[in-house]
């Protein structure tokens, strides 16, 4: 007694046996659908990673802009403190 696989049972059920055209058509459709399904999930994962990367770039740009504004405010404060200290040194 031998164990028959699904493809062997399919080949026996179709007209013409394993050499029939229907067997090859069904196998081609099955593997095409499997490939499309796997490809979709690979594409979806890559697309989600790309969106995460774009979001991270946008967030980093906003943080850098905020840091730049803070730094410019500190520079203004340092300049004003420097000018004030020079004035105090000149005027006793």
CA 4 vs CA 16, 62, 64, 92: distances in Å: 18, 63, 65, 106
What confidence score (pLDDT) does residue 48 get?
96
Judge residue 22's burial from the number of C-beta atoms within 10 Å of its C-beta, 0-12 exposed, 13-18 middle, 19 or more buried: middle
Give the integer Cα–Cα distance in Å for 24 and 22: 5
Q: pTM for this structure?
A: 0.51
- Report mean pLDDT in 10-residue bins for the chain, 92 residues: 58 63 84 97 96 96 92 82 55 48
First-to-last alpha carbon distance for the chain, in angstroms, is: 113
What pLDDT does 16 receive? 62
């Amino acid at each position: 007694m031998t164990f028959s696989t699904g493809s062997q049972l399919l080949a026996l059920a179709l007209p013409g046996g394993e050499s029939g055209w229907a067997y090859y058509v069904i196998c081609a459709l099955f593997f095409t659908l499997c490939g499309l399904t796997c490809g979709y999930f690979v594409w979806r994962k890559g697309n989600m990673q790309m969106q995460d990367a774009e979001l991270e770039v946008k967030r980093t740009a906003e943080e850098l802009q905020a840091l730049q504004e803070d730094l410019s405010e500190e520079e203004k404060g340092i300049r004003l403190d420097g000018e004030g200290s020079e004035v105090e040194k000149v005027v006793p």
